[in-house]
Amino acid sequence: MAIQVLKFGGSSVADIDHIRRVADLVVARRRQGFDVVAVVSAMGKTTDELLSLAQQINPVPSTRELDMLLTVGERTTTALLAMAIQQLGQDAVSLTGSQCGILTNASHSHARIIEIRPFRVWDELEAGRVVVVAGYQGTSYKREITTLGRGGSDTTAVALAAALDAERCEIYSDIEAVYTADPKVVLDARRLADVTYEQMLDLSRHGAKVLNAEAVEFARRAGIAVYTRSTFQPDLAGTVIRSNPPREPRPVTGVAGRKGVVGVELPSGDGTALAGATALLSRCGLVPDFVTAGPSGGAWLLFSEAANVGLAGMLEAALSGVPARVTTGLGLVTVVGDVAAHPELRSRLLPCLQAMSQVKGMLVSPTAVTVVVPEDRVDDAIRALHAACVGGCDPAVAGPQAGT
């Protein structure tokens, strides 16, 4: 039978009722005649709660011990979902990342998949079982438990789909599709019926939460089409992420935002500052999301708090004795699109940027324009830039309830 990989995020399995709903969906797909692999995240806010416990013990916890702790969340969900599927009369088995043969490098908290040996998964599918997989995790060549970074369950799903030569990979969450902006922030945001891997990568890297950037990159390399769906309204049309969507190129793909950003400003012309930046990267393993000119000159490094557990403590240790200024409470808002090729886009964008208050910095590339604003201004900036750059001008965008 053809294999389908279905991934369910934390909001989809937030409690027992949600898990039962997912079990119904999985069993229905199995009864349609497909072999099913269900990849799950931790329930609801479990990962955040576990992180909070760790930081109460140690503000800068060991990444190895974090991996040991955080993978408990996904393992809990897999066992519960397997039980719920069995209760419906369908045989199922729960597997950890290591039991699925997911091999990674030795980088704790941000591991990368090196190889997948899914022999156990194939055996269980051939025995007629639904396979429920703990996302976000694998095992290194040193036999250490590793995690794939926030949103890593998406990567697990796409990587397994590629390794199993699956017919399709579907990502389920509380939002059914990729929109031109977060529909919870911009009420008239529009559903994107199709996006390319490159467009989705840009959106994900700049804060769109529908699909993890590493998963998109994996899908692009493997040539796997990814379908987004709503767990709670699975019949709604979603988005297909693939290489050659049957639509004309759009000037603007969407507007994405990110909160919880920390900026480190290094003064210009100071070799000590440059050495400090090098020490920060090498000693702490921190890689900035952006490097640009600072508000007062010099270099400005921008980091995501969510992607770096214990960021404040690591920065404090790395910058000891270095003339640097740390600014917290920042956010990033990015217009993703073919900025270089569309002068009319620039003519709409620039007046909007000039009218925006409290812009602390700007980064421009051929495919994106990013502004740095206070965290509490992110939503306002998203709405303003969406109105200016998307508005009603994009015929390649489908309405929220349109079919695929």
Question: For residue 73, what are the CA distances in angstroms to 137, 160, 171, 173?
Answer: 11, 20, 19, 17
Same domain for 92 and 234?
A: yes
Same domain for 241 and 272?
A: no
Residue 148 has what pLDDT?
92
Is residue 403 a part of any domain in this protein?
no
Instruction: List the single range of 49-58, 292-301, 350-359, 361-370 with lowest mean pLDDT.
Output: 292-301
- Residue 274, pLDDT > 60, answer no
Model-level pTM?
A: 0.84
Question: Across-strand partners of 35?
Answer: 3
**What average pLDDT score do residues 263-282 get?**
65
Instruction: List the single range of 25-34, 228-237, 309-318 with lowest mean pLDDT.
Output: 309-318
Residue 346 has what pLDDT?
73
Same domain for 167 and 282?
A: no
Domain count for the chain, please give it.
2
Q: What is the C-alpha to C-alpha distance for residues 55 and 222, in angstroms, rounded to an integer?
A: 37
Is residue 96 a part of any domain in this protein?
yes
Q: What is the C-alpha to C-alpha distance for residues 75 and 79, in angstroms, rounded to an integer?
A: 6
Residue 394 has what pLDDT?
40
**What average pLDDT score do residues 32-46 get?**
96
Residue 8 has what pLDDT?
97
Instruction: Pick the last residue of a domain from 247, 277, 302.
Output: 247
Same domain for 263 and 342?
A: yes
Is residue 399 a part of any domain in this protein?
no
Same domain for 227 and 342?
A: no
Same domain for 348 and 242?
A: no
Residue type, 47: T
Instruction: Pick the last residue of a domain from 214, 247, 280.
Output: 247
Same domain for 40 and 131?
A: yes
Same domain for 142 and 188?
A: yes
Is residue 402 a part of any domain in this protein?
no
Residue 271 has what pLDDT?
56
Instruction: List the single range of 67-81, 145-159, 254-268 with lowest mean pLDDT.
Output: 254-268
- Residue 385, pLDDT > 50, answer yes
Give the CATH number, domain containing residue 362.
Answer: 3.30.2130.10
Same domain for 90 and 231?
A: yes
Same domain for 201 and 300?
A: no
Same domain for 217 and 363?
A: no
Residue (of 68, 80, 83) closest to 12 by Cα position: 80
Is residue 397 a part of any domain in this protein?
no
Q: Residue 15, Cβ neighbours under 10 Å: how many? A: 10
Instruction: Pick the last residue of a domain from 206, 221, 247.
Output: 247
Is residue 394 a part of any domain in this protein?
no
Give the CATH number, domain containing residue 85.
Answer: 3.40.1160.10
Residue 79 has what pLDDT?
98
Using a pLDDT cut of 70, give the percent of the chain over it: 87
Is residue 307 a part of any domain in this protein?
yes
**What average pLDDT score do residues 220-246 get?**
89
- 200 lies in which domain range? 3-247
Same domain for 89 and 48?
A: yes
User: How confident is the prediction for the chain on average, in pLDDT?
Assistant: 86
The model's pLDDT over 104-125, given as tens digits with 9 standing for 90+, comes to 999 898 899 999 999 999 999 9
Is residue 339 a part of any domain in this protein?
yes
The model's pLDDT over 387-402, given as tens digits with 9 standing for 90+, comes to 988 874 443 333 333 3
